Chain A
Amino acid sequence: MVLDPKMKQAVIRRTVRKFAEEKLVPAAAEMDEKAEFPARVAEEMAALQYFGLEIPAAYAGAGLDSVSYAIVIEEISKASGAMGLCISVHNSVSAFPVYEFGKESQKQAFLVPMAKGEKIGTFCLTEPNAGSDASSIETTAVRDGDGYILNGSKIFVTNGGVSGLNLIFAITNPSQRGREYSVFVVESEREGLEKGAQEDLMGMRGNPVCPIVLNDCRVPRENLLSEEGQGMRIALSTLDGGRIGIGSQALGIAQACLEASIKYAQERYQFGKRIADFGAIQGFLADMATRIEAARLLILRASSLRDRKMPHSRESAMAKLFASETAVDAARIGLQIHGGYGYSKAYPIERYYRDAKVCEIYEGTSEVQRIVIARSLMNK
């Protein structure tokens, strides 16, 4: 495994950081306060290919490898967790299946606009009664002539409020409940697709998360991704990449906590000295930095394996698990270091605290990640 960043990755990191510092950092607090997606910044990002990170140039994407991709997500998330979440989900979980499983005509119709950021993507899986237990979804897709009629409701759809294309996970074989799933690419304008009000969430408030309801929504056959019954396979295929994406997103938040804490600890004076000179604080910072370094290396390992087309389910699960828990931990300790001021909105640490928590939940809860890892250790 290559430990040192290659020249290209160093330049990518620097380029993204520069953009994030200039455009996202100044917007992040307001995004959170108003729970508003920054449309203008997103447009600029689209022009710079942030919505087509791993998609090949042939389809208007940037064609980055996985290691570089992880770096981009991390740096964007450091500036704004909500925006990092947006592009991570859009790239790893929404655009990726279209690339992997789409026919050429579908790639042209759907993938290219996604890569250009003209249409932001979602992956609609979760339902009121189906979270970790994905197979218990109730949304149906019934054959109707040459198309399908979709009915059901999806909740907590990341990017929902601004999406142009939505991947809907539905049952196409109701008589054999829980066994045959399919994925449909449904345009937001399509009749029968309704978006609900933006969720009022603890964190990631700049991401327009909302419910999406399908009410006799008729979609043509061309919108079926791959074939009927391939839905579970498609969903599972996104897991590894999705974990790397969310892991990187969590890492970005953790890194932001670390940098904020170092700065604060050196500015704050109590009992005649900087709090950075107290052993307790030094211990906090040391542990935080070490864990972050470990998380970064786990992500690097998973993404390096991915780039070499080697199996990486265990490694990506480890990366997601560790990075998300590191982020929550870093936010908690970071806020503690900030003391009373950390509890106020004058400092960004409380936003990091609120943003970090969900990383342990979505894209596979920490509990699920542990099961995945444990199973991979055993002979079966």
Chain B
Amino acid sequence: MKTKQNSDPSTQAAASGRGPSLGMGSQGKETPLGVALSGAERRRRETKWVHRALPAGTHWEGVWVFGDYRNYFQNRVTLQLIAKGNQLARKLGADMTVLVLGSQIHQYAMEYTAHGADVVMVVDHPSLKNYQVETYVRVVSQLVQNFKPEIFLAGATAFGREFFPRLAKRLNTGLSADCVALEIDRSKRLLIQTTPAFGGELLADIITPEHRPQMATVHPGVFVERIHDREATARILYPEVDIEAEERVQLIRSRPEQSRKGGLEEADVVIVGGKGLGSKENFQMLFELARLLGGEVGATRPVILSGWTEESRLLGQTGKNVKPKLLITAGTSGAVQYTTGIHGAETIIAINRDPHAPIFKMADLGLVGDAKTVLSLLLEKLRKRL
């Protein structure tokens, strides 16, 4: 199986799951996602970009979406993917199918029809009641091999990110993780998958030139769902599959996660303090501020290390990710290790006395000044108002 390659040296890089793995490479200049091959190496490997016809009899067509209906009203990613899947399918002149596995799930077939599916494929069986990785891989891989969709999408839920890679491996195909954009290159009938790299510092466009289906997990909230349409119709299929439950993993207990009242990840307003606040006493100020604004307090690692507050408030790569309406980040310089935890905030206000601090690049509003002073003034004013 010869693989194709773009001849532009700046795009030789890749990342695990999407191409050459980071840092690997025997020669050439390193790029963030791997090694840019030297000229000689490129010429050695370069093949012309040709869309190779698949061997006769293996015609892959159609856009599939994995229907994750758990937490149906809060978790909208499947509906978002149906909308996008439709768009992709139209460009390819193909059908968009939602695949639903579970037990007593007919209502979801109806819901997905109403939200735009052309086809809903249902596998309803008691063994599929709980989402179990290997059991689902067994069922879905059979369906993929029978029906041969060219594209298969799933939401990047925790389950999706555990299930899809295993499925992709079983199908010996490529998978990209947590995509933030999807487009079709019609001339080559390829799905262009855009994923973040380095905690979101960069974006990578990835293709799966040869293998099928082209699989991707998609970040929730990227696409917009279609409005529920009661008049919509779809073909509902009940394919035959062998169902063999995985015995080696037994679910003993499943409890909804304790959502602490006012937990960081649920808060509408998050105020984050960094080392630039100066002291533990100054950091304490944030708690009153948060209370007045109806929010929660977060912290960066240097603050945790200095013992100014507890580890559960840590945000970032080794801490929590938050998506509040408003995030105020004070006295933080904007290290990538921290900022990966706050990309999702709707509005970011940063306060730092260094105008060149990287945090300002990701802020909607940047205030150049001493964080402690500005926040104490804010606190004063708020106390008077509220």
Contact = CB atoms under 8 A, between A and B. Distances in A.
Interface of A: 21-22, 25-26, 266-267, 269, 274, 346
Contacts, number: 13
Interface stretch (B142-150, B186-194, B262-270, B350-358): B350-358
10 contacts: A25-B305, A26-B305, A26-B306, A26-B307, A266-B356, A267-B353, A267-B354, A269-B355, A274-B356, A346-B278
Contacts of A26: 305-307
Specify the main secondary structure of chain A where it touches its partner: helix
Contact of A21 (B305, B353, B354, B356): B305
Contacts of B305: 21-22, 25-26
A274 B354 CA distance: 9
Contacts of B307: 26
A216 to B, nearest CB: 47
- Closest 5 A/B residue pairs (Cβ): A267-B354, A26-B306, A22-B305, A267-B353, A266-B354
B183 to A, nearest CB: 40
Contacts of B278: 346
Nearest to B305: A22
A21 B306 CA distance: 9
A285 to B, nearest CB: 16
Interface of B: 278, 305-307, 353-356
Contacts of A267: 353-354
A346 B355 CA distance: 21
B335 to A, nearest CB: 13
A274 B305 CA distance: 29
A119 to B, nearest CB: 29
B355 to A, nearest CB: 7
Contacts of A25: 305
Contacts of A346: 278
Nearest to B306: A26
A220 B354 CA distance: 63
Q: Which of A25, A267, A274 has the most CB of B within 10 A?
A: A267
A281 to B, nearest CB: 15
B282 to A, nearest CB: 12
A274 B307 CA distance: 31
Contacts of A21: 305
Contacts of B354: 266-267
A26 B275 CA distance: 11
B215 to A, nearest CB: 38
Contacts of A274: 356
A274 B356 CA distance: 10
Nearest to A273: B355
Nearest to A21: B305
A269 B354 CA distance: 8
A269 B355 CA distance: 9
A25 B355 CA distance: 26
A25 B275 CA distance: 13
A22 B356 CA distance: 26
A267 B307 CA distance: 25
Nearest to A22: B305
Nearest to B356: A266
Nearest to B279: A346
Nearest to A23: B305
A264 to B, nearest CB: 10
